[in-house]
Amino acid sequence: MESVREELQLFARRFGLLNASCCDECCGEQVSMAQGHLLFEIRRSGNPSMLQVAEELGIDVTTFSRQVKSLETKGLIFRRVSEEDRRVTLLGLTTAGEEVMSRIDSYMADRIEQIFTSMTPFERETVVRSLGLLNSALARTGCSGVNTDIIIACCK
């Protein structure tokens, strides 16, 4: 299993998953890795509640609230009260937030294409299928989200 951990660690570093902030060549904004995930999840979920995004990302509510406030100050997201339940705050991307996500999407698509050009079509399909299997296994074992007893990436 040590080789699996080593491969995951190397992948995270080489793919740039440990970078503190997004670089100018990516989206031209000072967006942290956590904020990029937050923007992605808001778009993916389509105006989700704050609690829903915090749980999906596995971020404690205090840290999450600071990230939301920062993105709101930058004009990338907005908050609004749910019409169905006034206790729930919903999140959405502003036009500027959608533009930032579009630039990040373009950058990431180019980056992934660069990586995949060195692979055969079979290898590409194998990687995509394997990532899907790994994500499914993580979801089944409870290794995602805030309320987990199993943490793989670091010590508990």
Q: Give the CATH number for residue 66.
A: 1.10.10.10
On whether residue 130 sits in a domain, the answer given is: no
pLDDT tens, position by position, 64-121: 899 999 999 999 999 999 999 999 999 999 999 999 999 989 988 998 999 999 999 9
Number of compact structural domains in the chain: 1
On whether residue 23 sits in a domain, the answer given is: yes
On whether residue 135 sits in a domain, the answer given is: no
On whether residue 33 sits in a domain, the answer given is: yes
On whether residue 144 sits in a domain, the answer given is: no
CA pair distance 156, 153, nearest whole angstrom: 9
On whether residue 156 sits in a domain, the answer given is: no
With a pLDDT cut of 90, the percent of the chain lying above it is: 46
Give the SS3 label for residue 16. coil
Q: What is the pLDDT of residue 13?
A: 77
In this prediction the pTM is: 0.76
What is the rounded end-to-end Cα distance, in angstroms, of the chain?
A: 18
Domain range spanning residue 85?
A: 2-118
In contact, 93 and 77? CB cutoff 8 Å:
yes
Query: What is the rounded (10 degree) CA torsion for 138, 7, 12, 98?
Result: -50
On whether residue 152 sits in a domain, the answer given is: no
Which CA distances in Å does 3 have to 7, 110, 150? 6, 29, 19
Examine the pLDDT at 61 and tell me if it is beyond 60: yes
Q: DSSP letters of 41-88?
A: HHHHHTS-BHHHHHHHHT--HHHHHHHHHHHHHTTSEEEEE-SS-TT-
On whether residue 20 sits in a domain, the answer given is: yes
